[in-house]
Chains A and B, each alone.
Chain A
Amino acid sequence: MSDLRVHVEGVGLWSPQLADFAALRSVLAGETPAPAPVRPAAATLPANERRRAPASVLLAIEVAGQAVAMSGRDAATLACVFASAHGDQPITDYMCATLARAPAELSPIRFHNSVHNAAVGYWTIATGCHAPSTAIAAQAASFGAGLLEAASQVLADERPVLLVCSDSEGSGPLTEVTGSNQPFGCALVLAPAASAATLARLDLRLVPPQPDDALPEPLAAWRRTNPSASSLALLALLAGNAGSCRLAAAPALGLQIAMEKVA
C-alpha cells in the first residue's frame, strides 16, 4: 500500500484554553495566550440558530468555520466528515434522565438535536452545502478514524474535505463512563493537490497499533481530558516545520503521519 498524501489548507481549534490554532502555536512557543471565551462564537451560524443550537454544535461549527476561513474555500463545496466519540453528552444525559423520570415529557427539539449528525446537519444548512456529509464515531480513535475516512474521500473522489473532530464535556452520571472533563474540538481542510493555500503535506500510512506519542505539558494533560484531544499530537506537529506522529485509527490499527510544512 502506498502512502495516502493529502494537503492541509486550514486548521481550526477550540478548547477552554485554546481559542484557535494560533493559541496552540503560542503555547508551544512558551507563551500564555488569552483563554477562549466561555462559548464558542460559531459565527457561521445565523443568529437565531446560534441561540438555539446546543453547545456541541457551537463547538463543531466554531472549529469548522476557523479551518474553512483559513483555507479560503467556499464551505458549500466541501464534503464533510464530522467525528465525535460521544456526541452531545449534555443531551444524552438529559434524554436518559427524562426517560427514567417522565418519558412522555421528552423534548422533540432535544431529540432531533441528539442525533450524532446534528452538528454536520446544522453546518450543511448554515453553509448551503449539498456535498456528501457524514458523522462518525470510533471511541478513543475517533480523530484517527475520522482522518482516515476524510483522507480516503479526498483521494478516492479527488475533492477537498472538511474534517471536524469534537467532543463536548461530560454531564451528569454519564461523565463517569465517558471521561470527558472539558470540551475540545479541531478541524482540518484537506485537499488532494498542492495549491497556494497549502500549509502542510501529510503522508498517512496504516501501521500496527502503537502507544501514544509523548507530548509536552500542558498538551499531555489536555489530551487526557477529552477523546477528541488525541488530535493534539498532529496539531502540535502542524505548528512546527516537519516531523511525524502516530495516532490510533482503531484499537488494533495505527496511523503513521509524516508532516512537511509547505507555506
Chain B
Amino acid sequence: MPHVMTPLAVTAHTATSALGHGLDAQLDALRGERSGLRPNDFSSAPLACWIGRVDGLETAALPAALASWDCRNNRLAWLGLNQDGFLDRVHAARARYGASRVALLLGTSTASIGATEEAYRRLDADGGFPDDMLRAAIHTPHSLAAFVAAALALEGPCLTVSTACSSSAKVFASAERMLRLGLIDAAVVGGVDTLCDSVLFGFNALELVSPGPCRPFDAARNGISIGEAAGFALLERIDAAPDATRLLGYGEASDAHHMSTPHPQGLGAELALNDALARAGLDPAQVGYINLHGTASQKNDEVEAALVGRAFPATTRASSTKGFTGHTLGAAGIVEATVALQAIEHDLVPGNLGVDTPDPICGAQFAWRNEQRHIDVALSNSFGFGGNNACLAFARAGFAA
C-alpha cells in the first residue's frame, strides 16, 4: 500500500468547454442543468452525431509572437489559459519560485493531429506538406505542452502524458511526485483536446458514438458524444495557500485486459480507486461526491456503476457530467477535476444529465438531478483505452481524514 501523502494546494484552476469559457460559465450550466451538446457541425462531412464544441476558436488567433504554433488545439489552450486569471497566477508562481522550478505537465489524447490531418488534405502537387504546414512542432503529440511552455515562459520539467482518456488526470500524480522529491516548487497541470476527424471517425468506426446526445448510465444509452475542452490547475505546497482546496490523493492502475474495452469486473478501476483512497488516507464513507468517468458506452458504465455500488455507501453521491460537456477525451481528467473542485467550493452535486430511465445496475449513490449539499471530499474517475485507469481525490481546506 502507498504511504498517505502530504496534501497539495490547488491554488488556481480553470476550464473551457462546450459549457463556455471559464469556471463561471461551467458553474452556471451545471446549476441550470444545461447541456453544451449540439448537433455535429464540425468538419466538411459531419457524421450524424452530437458534439461538445467550444465557440469562438475560429476567430481566436494566437498572439503574434506565438503565431507559429497556430492550430485549433493551441488556440483552445490559449483561450483556456486566459480564463479565471490563470495566466496571472502562473506568472506569480514563476516570479516566486523561478521559471525552472515550475513544471508543466499536460495531458492530451491527440494534441494537434487536426493540423496534420489538414496538411494531408492539402498536400502539394509533389505530395509534400504545403509550406504553411511545414511546422514540425505542431505535428507531434508534444505540440500542446511545447506551445504552453513557450506561452508561459516555463523552464522546468515539461511532459506530455498521452494515455487516451486518463491523460489529464495522471498529470496530477506526476506533479505530486516531483514536488515531493523537491525537483520543483509548483506545477501547472491540465490538458487540452480538440475536435478532429481522427476521433470523430475513429470512435464512429468502433461503433461507440451515439447518434443523439449521450446518456450516461441510462438503461438505453447508446454511445458517447465527443467534446473538446481545455483545463488547467496550479499545484503548490499547502503553506503557499493554506485556504485553497487540496489534492488529497491519486491512484493509477492498469486493467491488463483489452485495448478498447474495460476489464469486465473493473479490476484496474478498483485498484486505482483503492490507491487514491490509501494515499489520501480516506475511508470510502468520507467521500461526498464522485465525478464518474461515465462515458455512456455500454461497457464502461456497466463496470463503473457496479464498482460504485460495491465500494461506497448511499451517502456518497455520484454522477457523470459527460451529458453536459461530451467526452472531452484527453481533457476529461482535468475538466472533471474542476467539476469535483467546484462541487467542494460551491456545495453542488451536479446531476447526471441526459438520463430518462436509469440503468437498474445503478445504486442509490447516483445523483440523477442536482443536489445542494456540503461536500468535503470529491473524487474524479478517468479511464482510458489500453486499460489505463486514474482516480483523483480532492478535499476542502481544513478537512482532516
- Write the residues of chain A forming the contact surface with B, with a CB cutoff of 8 angstroms: 1-2, 4, 76, 80, 84-87, 92, 95-97, 99-100, 103-104, 106-108, 111-118, 120-122, 124-125, 127-139, 141-142, 145, 148-149, 152-153, 155-157, 173-174, 176-179, 206, 208, 249-253
The verdict on A136 contacting B259 (CB below 8 Å), with A177-B129, A177-B136 known, is no
Q: Give chain A nearest CB distance to B18 CB in angstroms.
A: 22
**Docked-complex contact A138 and B145, CB < 8 angstroms:** yes
Chain A residues, CB < 8 A from B155: 250, 252-253
The contact sample of 15 A-B pairs, CB cut-off 8 A, is A99-B201, A106-B204, A111-B201, A112-B259, A112-B385, A118-B259, A125-B255, A125-B257, A133-B163, A133-B252, A136-B160, A137-B142, A138-B145, A156-B181, A250-B156
CB–CB A92/B159 < 8 A: no
Query: What chain B residues lie within 8 Å of A106 (beta carbons)?
Result: 201-202, 204-205
Stretch from B117-125, B238-246, B314-322, B367-375 at the A interface? B117-125
Determine if B386 and A121 form an interchain contact, defined as CB atoms under 8 angstroms apart.
Answer: yes
**Shortest CB–CB separation between residue A56 and chain B, in angstroms?**
13
Interface string of B40-67 (1 = CB under 8 A from A): 0000010000000000000000000000
B residues lining the A interface (CB < 8 Å): 2, 45, 99-100, 109, 113, 116-117, 119-121, 123, 127-129, 134-137, 139-142, 145-146, 149, 154-164, 170, 173-174, 176-178, 180-183, 197-198, 201-207, 252-260, 267-268, 271, 275, 384-388
Q: Using CB atoms, name the residue of chain A closest to B390.
A: A132
Q: Decide: B117 and A134 in contact? CB cutoff 8 A.
A: no
Question: With a CB–CB cut-off of 8 A, which chain A residues contact B145?
Answer: 138
Would B177 and A157 count as touching, CB distance under 8 A?
yes
Q: Name which of B99, B207, B255 has the most chain A CB atoms within 10 A of its CB.
A: B255
- A117-B388 CB under 8 A given contacts A139-B146, A155-B181: yes
In the complex the two chains form, is A135's CB within 8 Å of B161's CB?
Answer: yes
The 6 lowest CB-CB distance pairs between A and B, nearest first, are A121-B386, A116-B162, A111-B202, A132-B252, A252-B155, A156-B177
Cβ-defined contact, B120 with A130, below 8 A: no
Of the candidates A99, A114, A130, A157, the one whose C-beta lies within 8 Å of that of B117 is: A99
Given A95-B198, A173-B129, A252-B100, is A137 in contact with B177 using a C-beta cutoff of 8 Å?
no
On whether the beta carbons of A253 and B156 are closer than 8 Å, the reply is yes
* Contact status of A121 and B160, CB under 8 A, knowing A92-B113, A152-B181: no
With contacts A103-B201, A124-B386 known, is A1 near B183, CB below 8 A?
A: yes
What is the minimal beta-carbon distance from B5 to any residue of chain A, in angstroms? 9
CB atoms of A138 and B259 under 8 A apart: no
Complex CA distance for A96 and B123, rounded to whole angstroms: 11
Q: Which residues of A contact B140 (CB under 8 A)?
A: 85-86, 137, 139, 178
Question: How many inter-chain contacts with C-beta < 8 Å in the A-B complex?
Answer: 228
Q: Kindly list chain B residues whose C-beta atoms are within 8 Å of the C-beta of A250.
A: 149, 155-159
Closest CB in chain B relative to A60 CB, distance in Å: 12
- A148 to B180: give the CA distance in the assembly, Å: 14
Among the listed A103, A124, A132, which residue makes an inter-chain contact with B45, where contact means beta carbons less than 8 Å apart? Answer: A103
A125-B387, A139-B137 given; A145·B116 CB < 8 A: no
Smallest CB gap from A128: residue in B: B256
Q: Contact at B387–A177, with CB atoms within 8 Å?
A: no
Question: Are A100 and B198 neighbours in the complex by a CB distance under 8 Å?
Answer: no
Query: CB distance B252 to A176 under 8 Å?
Result: no
A206, B182: Cβ atoms closer than 8 Å: no
CB pair A173 B387 closer than 8 Å: no
Given contacts A100-B120, A106-B201, A251-B146, is CB(A130)–CB(B159) below 8 Å? no
Q: Are B183 and A251 in contact (CB under 8 A)?
A: no
Kindly provide the distance from the CB of B8 to the nearest chain A CB, expressed in whole angstroms: 13
Specify which chain B residues have a CB less than 8 angstroms from the CB of A107 in the assembled complex: 205
Q: A99-B197, A124-B254, A131-B254 are in contact. Are A253 and B386 (CB under 8 A)?
A: no
Question: Please, how many angstroms separate the alpha-carbon atoms of A118 and B163 in the complex?
Answer: 8
* Known contacts A114-B202, A145-B159; A121/B120 CB under 8 A: no
A1 to B157, CA, bound (A): 14
Identify which of A80, A129, A139, A173 contacts B119 (C-beta below 8 A): A173
List chain B residues, Cβ under 8 A from A141: 158
- CB-CB nearest in chain B for A108: B205
Interface pair A4/B181, CB less than 8 Å apart: yes
Residues A145 and B158 in contact, CB atoms below 8 Å apart: yes
